[in-house]
């Protein structure tokens, strides 16, 4: 159903890396700027990769409906790529997702179906499966279990990092939502350097890797209340916990000190990378991901302080 062989999906990938120096720990963190993808997040990659694979295999038809459960970024990405290619796209979004995520999906031509996740996205995933059973037109990307997710990051994101970062890479740190980035990039970097350490970041309030009961946190896009199937492919050497408050503080710092307007998971990744670099003996470059742009967080705690400052300025 592709209207053209070239479209917005052609702009995905080949995002730059940037070295950030932190004087207090004398550490340089190389950040992969995935927020520079066209819809504003790393999820653009898997949306295009999965849709184009389904097109090649003849699974997607002119009347197909792409349906996915998402915490936001994947839904935005599938709306962007799917609608641009001529498909109808429905995204199941948690009622707790920021309003901006709903608006962006709708602005891109996607349809939003809200559900009550209660902090666990298995509810939405089960709803999409029921929908597919009742409607043969529905195509499920299944981001949490689709191995193409890992393959995409292994063959694109990971290879780009290897070309862009100077010298051997000694540490890669990333949060996990589906586990695809951690698994794919981790495999790519360990293949190039078996001594490279791969570390998972997760919210302190939802430390599933520590077998703790997950509860609400403010790092949207990671730790969706269950352990995704794709994490079994991630060559993880260890994990570290980052509190929502620490993630928010670093995200604000990335904007005010480095000029990088990114989301809370990006701040959490940087906190984790700095922490692991201090705790572990790392030989080589330290790499993490800046996952998404800040505009989908305007109504969240990330911008609450800025909004208060603005109100005070107007009153003075």
Query: Cα separation of 125 and 30, whole Å?
Result: 34
Whether the CA torsion 223, 225, 227, 230 is positive or negative: it is negative
Distances (CA, A) of 72 to 68, 101, 133, 241: 10, 6, 24, 22
Nearest to 20 by CA among 12, 30, 11, 10: 30
Q: What confidence tens digit (pLDDT) does each residue in 11-26 have?
A: 999 999 999 999 999 9
Nearest to 165 by CA among 6, 27, 12, 29: 29
- The structure's pTM equals 0.91
Q: What confidence tens digit (pLDDT) does each residue in 47-56 have?
A: 999 999 999 9
pLDDT of residue 4: 65
- Retrieve residue 216's tokens: 């609400």
- Retrieve residue 231's tokens: 């994490």
* Confidence at 284, pLDDT banded by 50, 70, 90: very high
Q: For tokens 């550490």, name the residue.
A: 27
Domains of the chain: which residue ranges?
8-36+147-301, 43-139
Whether the CA torsion 284, 187, 21, 268 is positive or negative: it is negative
Query: Cα separation of 32 and 133, whole Å?
Result: 39
Burial class, 136, CB count within 10 angstroms (exposed 0-12 / middle 13-18 / buried 19+): exposed
Please state which architecture CATH assigns to domain 8-36+147-301. 3-Layer(aba) Sandwich (3.40)
Which ranges of 146-263 would DSSP assign to H, the alpha helix? Answer: 147-152, 158-164, 180-192, 244-258
Q: What confidence tens digit (pLDDT) does each residue in 230-271 have?
A: 999 999 999 999 998 999 999 999 999 999 999 999 999 999
* Confidence at 311, pLDDT banded by 50, 70, 90: very low
- Encode 187-219: b = buried (16+ Cβ within 10 Å), e = exposed: bbbbeebeebbbbbbbbbbbbbbeeeebeebbb
Task: Give catalytic residue positions.
Answer: 43, 265
Query: Cα separation of 214 and 223, whole Å?
Result: 8
pLDDT of residue 315: 44
Domain 8-36+147-301 and domain 43-139, same fold? Reply is yes
The class of domain 43-139 in CATH terms is alpha beta
Burial class, 90, CB count within 10 angstroms (exposed 0-12 / middle 13-18 / buried 19+): buried
pLDDT of residue 306: 55
- When the pLDDT of each residue in the chain is averaged and rounded to a whole number, the result is 91
66 CB contacts (<8 Å, ≥6 apart)? 51, 60, 78, 82, 87, 88, 89, 90, 138, 139, 141
Helix (H, G, I), strand (E, B) or coil at 241: strand
Q: What confidence tens digit (pLDDT) does each residue in 83-113 have?
A: 999 999 999 998 878 889 999 999 999 999 9
Three-state SS string over 72-126 comes to CHHHHHHHHHHHHCCCEEEEEEECCCCHHHHHHHHHCCCEEEEECCCCCCHHHHH
């Amino acid at each position: 159903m592709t209207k053209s062989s070239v479209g917005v999906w052609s702009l995905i990938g080949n995002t730059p890396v940037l070295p950030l120096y932190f004087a207090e720990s004398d550490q340089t963190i190389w950040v992969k700027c995935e927020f520079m993808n066209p819809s504003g997040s790393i999820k653009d990659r898997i949306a295009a990769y999965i849709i184009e694979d389904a097109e090649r295999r003849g699974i997607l038809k002119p009347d197909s409906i792409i349906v996915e459960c998402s915490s936001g970024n994947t839904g935005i990405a599938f709306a962007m790529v799917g609608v641009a290619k001529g498909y109808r796209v429905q995204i199941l979004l948690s009622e707790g997702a920021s309003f901006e995520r709903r608006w962006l999906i709708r602005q891109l031509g996607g349809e939003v179906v809200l559900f009550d996740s209660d902090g666990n996205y298995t509810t939405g995933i089960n709803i999409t499966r029921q929908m597919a059973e009742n409607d043969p037109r529905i195509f499920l990307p299944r981001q949490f279990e689709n191995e193409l997710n890992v393959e995409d990051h292994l063959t694109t994101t990971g290879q780009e990092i290897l070309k862009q970062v100077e010298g051997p890479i000694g540490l890669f740190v990333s949060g996990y939502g589906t586990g695809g980035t951690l698994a794919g990039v981790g495999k790519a970097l360990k293949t190039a350097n078996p001594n490279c350490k791969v570390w998972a970041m997760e919210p302190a309030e939802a430390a599933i890797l520590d077998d703790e009961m997950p509860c609400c946190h403010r790092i949207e896009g990671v730790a969706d209340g269950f352990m995704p199937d794709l994490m079994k492919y991630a060559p993880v050497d260890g994990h570290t916990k980052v509190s929502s408050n620490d993630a928010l503080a670093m995200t604000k710092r990335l904007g005010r000190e480095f000029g990088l307007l990114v989301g809370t998971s990006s701040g959490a990744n940087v906190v984790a990378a700095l922490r692991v670099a201090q705790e572990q003996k790392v030989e080589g470059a330290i790499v993490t991901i800046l996952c998404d742009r800040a505009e989908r967080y305007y109504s969240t705690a990330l911008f609450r302080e800025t909004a208060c400052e603005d109100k005070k300025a107007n009153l003075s």
